[in-house]
Amino acid sequence: MTKILETFSGRLLLVGCGNMAGAMLDRWRVAGLDAAQVAIVDPFAAPRDGIAHYGSLGDWQAAGGGADWIMLGMKPQQLGEVAAELGPHVAGAHLLSILAGVSLADLAARFPGAKAHVRILPNLAARIGAGVTAVASSGESDDRAVAALLQPLGDVVPLADDSSMDLVTAFTGSGPAFVFRLIEAYAAAGERLGLSADDALKLATATFGGATALLAGSGEKPGALVTQVASKGGTTQAGLDVLDVDGQLAALMTNVLRAARDRGRELADLARGEG
């Protein structure tokens, strides 16, 4: 891919580098981000070649500290502890957060010295540049620079504010896990009906992958493509008749998203010390 981050300027600090933050960092490196511009504070993250790695914020500060871009990627429940230690060192920096449930208002209250507060919601497909990232910001945000940083991760969807971010967290952030579970269930059904486990998973993965690629590239609505596969009285329609009974599939997915969204709100309360 084009090394679009070769011109990225400034120092980037990752506070927490778990699965999601790590996937973002790995993609940024592929996109040309210089390892010398990055530091990680995380006692549990695996070391990455050329990137300064510290076990604590104290160690980072003792080594000189300083960052123009700071991304929070630890557990939301750690926000208070991190803010107390990091807060004095964010002056003039863009503060990015991928923390579920932590609003822009929460960030502004915890880190008043930051130049800008930017809430971003990526998903795991960012690892291969096929993710989707929702973003909302406040303060003196350099939105073009933020967009350039997020572009290598996949599609970027700017939001006017972060009022819908708890739902977006459930919808796109948690979404890949729900899709993986659906594929797993689809493969398990094939296995129960006689396919080998390996064949069932390969066929399920290819079927879901091809269908989503066709949908993305066709410009058509899902329902229109359904009618191109199904014919009256045919095998596809027989299966659809089961899926469509009493709107149970839509109701199930609504309940799934509601549970994930509500958990995001609970995490927000915990981050504020209200839980």
**pLDDT tens for each residue of 48-75:** 999 999 999 999 999 988 999 999 999 9
**pTM summary value:** 0.87
Average pLDDT over residues 166-180: 94
Are 12-161 and 175-243 equal in CATH topology?
no
Average pLDDT over residues 250-256: 97
Buried b (16+ CB within 10 A) or exposed e, 61-82: beeebebebbbbbbebeebeeb
CA distances from 229 to 33, 77, 141, 216, 217 (A): 44, 47, 47, 16, 16
Instruction: Return left, alpha or beta for 156; rule: phi > 0 is left, psi -120 to 50 is alpha, else beta.
Output: beta
**Burial class for 152, CB neighbours closer than 10 Å (0-12, 13-18, 19+):** buried
Amino acid 9: pLDDT: 86
Map out the domains of the chain as residue ranges. 12-161, 175-243
Amino acid 1: pLDDT: 61
Class of domain 12-161: alpha beta
**CATH architecture of the domain with range 175-243:** Orthogonal Bundle (1.10)
CA 64/CA 61 separation, integer angstroms? 5
Amino acid 13: pLDDT: 97
- Proportion of the chain above pLDDT 70, given as a percent: 99
77, pLDDT greater than 70: yes
- Proportion of the chain above pLDDT 90, given as a percent: 87
